A and B are shown apart, each in its own frame.
Chain A
């Protein structure tokens, strides 16, 4: 069935360093890949996403890359700050339509700790 594997499960970096989180998906029909940030006790918040017709997308300090052939995508956070500390989830989705509901399949999550 559909599956998304996410690594690492925990990541600790010094403030100012970069952080990279990687995900692999199994459903080759997936074509939308969002990343969510969840702070303790809060709802998941969409921080960046990428569609299958694009290989990389950047938004200030965060970027996402996609390798469709290998079926993996990664989140890159540069110049990390303590407020980046949170749990990050990747997800994969088939685009809604043609019988697809557009449901998201989530990775297991990565707890990122940025040490001041």
Chain B
């Protein structure tokens, strides 16, 4: 497995502001993903963070709202922009080891007030 550090672990933000979440892995990984988990719900993939190129976004998610950076094989950031209360959720980064197994960071619990 890999050690995945995600920060902040939680934050309370004012609507209209932006928050950047960081994900650091202790080894180089090819694939990094960002998920959203709304209260009491399942995990929904936001995007695949691609090293050296633009992220690949899933239907319903756009770069202007969720810009993602992936400057190297161990680090990625997700920004939640122009936040509204509907963005209150847990955001999780995930890394894929080998060809299949995926492991998660501890998550960022975001509350927008």
Contact = CB atoms under 8 A, between A and B. Distances in A.
B31 interface: yes
Contacts of B104: 43-45
Contact of A32 (B31, B33, B100): B100
B53 interface: no
A34 B33 CA distance: 16
B108 to A, nearest CB: 11
A30 B100 CA distance: 11
Contact of B45 (A43, A95, A104): A104
Contact of B100 (A49, A89, A108): A49
Interface residues of A, number: 24
B102 interface: yes
A20 B86 CA distance: 34
The SS class assigned to the B binding surface is strand
A96 interface: yes
User: Max chain B CB contacts within 10 Å: which of A32, A93, A97, A104?
Assistant: A104
B31 A96 contact: yes
User: Max chain B CB contacts within 10 Å: which of A32, A42, A43, A104?
Assistant: A43
B92 A101 contact: no
Contacts of A42: 106
Interface of B: 30-31, 33, 41-45, 48, 56, 58-59, 92, 94, 96, 99-107
11 contacts: A34-B100, A43-B107, A44-B104, A46-B102, A49-B100, A49-B101, A95-B100, A96-B31, A102-B102, A103-B48, A108-B41
